[in-house]
């Protein structure tokens, strides 16, 4: 049989380390200092703070744009409790009320319902007039719309857009918070045709009926000179305006055409809106209604 070679044993390095340590103490290198108890003192190291990179200032909206008011809702943060009628029961508040009234078991009078609150979400509806009469002030109207959309984007408010042109109106953008998608849809608009404001008011009513249960506040902004090619009268218009007055928190008419100020003023009076000049918005900053919670 062939014999396997025997490998030499690995030498330990503990003796070498001890010899080196003893040789270092014998030289000029001073031995480590010891305390009164005989223990070696821990050397003190000078630590230099690393160079910290300064962070760029975060982008924030001016005023209260990033902050929303609290409003009562069906879900969110629990704020209080009230007497129960229907719906969810707050068990802990019910037991506490029964104990406070001295009853071992809660009765119907002790039932409590939770009260929740959440940040108020605002739905912004735009009614844009893209007729021939608005072609002269295209740049001014689009500058106002883009700046206002930026304010809404910073607040994360959903925006829906309705356009009136020719003989009909259409929903250009359903309520969304995507600013690039909104700007993409607006980039393809061309001013031509008439101003069927009556059809636009009916579409505003349709969107309000569709989204009024989801959003706690609805604001309506109408960009037009008020020169409608259809009569704004009749039972259908009155019904739509009644719904707008009931569920819309703030209605604003923006007139970029100075020579049509009388028409815009009459239209704003008809729908119960405030009249706004976009030049004041672009020069003086965001108006007070743009920063509402």
Q: What is the pLDDT along the chain (293 residues), one digit of tens a residue?
A: 555 555 555 555 555 555 445 554 455 555 555 556 555 555 554 455 555 444 444 434 444 444 556 656 666 678 888 888 888 888 899 999 999 999 989 998 999 998 877 666 789 999 998 888 777 777 777 777 787 788 787 778 899 999 998 888 999 999 998 888 888 888 888 888 888 999 999 999 999 999 988 887 899 999 888 888 888 888 889 999 999 999 998 899 988 888 888 898 999 999 889 888 776 655 544 444 443 44
Question: In the structure encoding, which two tokens stand for residue 30, read together?
Answer: 């001073």
pTM reported for the whole predicted model:
0.59
255, burial (CB in 10 Å: exposed 0-12, middle 13-18, buried 19+): buried
pLDDT value of position 187: 83
10, burial (CB in 10 Å: exposed 0-12, middle 13-18, buried 19+): exposed
For residue 144, give the nearest of 82, 233, 223, 37 by alpha carbon: 223
DSSP reduced 3-state for 104: coil
Q: Are the beta carbons of 173 and 199 closer than 8 angstroms?
A: no
| Residues contacting residue 64 through CB under 8 Å, at least 6 positions apart | 291, 293
Question: What burial letters (b/e) apply to 207-227, b meaning 16+ CB within 10 Å?
Answer: bbeebeeebbbbbbbbbbbbb
What's the CA gap between 225 and 33, in Å, rounded?
Answer: 90
**Among the residues of 4-81, which ranges form H helices?**
14-26
- β-bridge pairing 122-129 and 217-223: parallel
End-to-end, the C-alpha distance of the chain in Å comes to 95
For residue 276, give the nearest of 259, 254, 251 by alpha carbon: 254
pLDDT value of position 293: 40
Check residue 40 and report its DSSP letter. B
What's the CA gap between 175 and 49, in Å, rounded?
Answer: 50
List the chain domain ranges.
70-119, 122-291
Strands (DSSP E) contained in 84-237 are 112-119, 122-129, 159-165, 168-176, 217-223
DSSP reduced 3-state for 241: helix
| Residues contacting residue 19 through CB under 8 Å, at least 6 positions apart | none
What's the CA gap between 34 and 148, in Å, rounded?
Answer: 73
pLDDT value of position 22: 52
The domain covering 122-291 belongs, at the CATH homologous superfamily level, to von Willebrand factor, type A domain (3.40.50.410)
């Amino acid at each position: 049989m062939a014999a396997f070679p025997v490998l030499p044993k690995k030498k330990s390095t503990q003796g070498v380390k001890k010899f080196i340590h003893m040789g270092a103490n014998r030289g000029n290198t001073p031995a480590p200092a010891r305390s009164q108890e005989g223990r070696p003192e821990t050397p003190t190291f000078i630590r230099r703070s690393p160079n910290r990179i300064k962070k760029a200032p975060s982008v924030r909206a001016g005023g209260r744009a990033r902050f929303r008011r609290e409003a009562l809702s069906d879900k969110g943060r629990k704020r209080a409790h009230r007497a129960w009628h229907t719906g969810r029961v707050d068990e802990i508040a019910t037991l506490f009320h029964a104990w406070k009234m001295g009853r071992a078991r809660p009765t119907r009078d002790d039932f409590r319902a939770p009260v929740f609150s959440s940040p108020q979400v605002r739905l912004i509806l735009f009614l844009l007039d893209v007729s021939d009469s608005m072609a002269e002030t295209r740049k001014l109207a689009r500058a106002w719309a883009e700046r206002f959309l930026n304010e809404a984007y910073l607040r994360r408010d959903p925006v829906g857009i309705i356009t009136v042109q020719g003989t009909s109106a259409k929903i250009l953008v359903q309520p969304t918070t995507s600013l690039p998608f909104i700007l993409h849809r607006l980039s393809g608009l061309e001013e031509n045709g008439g101003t069927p404001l009556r059809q636009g008011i009916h579409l505003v009513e349709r969107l309000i009926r569709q989204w009024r249960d989801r959003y706690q506040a609805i604001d309506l902004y109408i960009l037009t000179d008020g020169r409608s090619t259809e009569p704004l009268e009749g039972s259908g218009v009155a019904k739509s305006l009644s719904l707008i007055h009931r569920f819309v928190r703030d209605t604003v008419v923006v007139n970029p055409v100075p020579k049509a100020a009388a028409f815009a003023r009459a239209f704003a009076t008809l729908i119960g809106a405030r009249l706004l000049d976009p030049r004041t918005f672009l020069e003086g900053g965001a108006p007070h209604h743009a920063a509402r919670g």
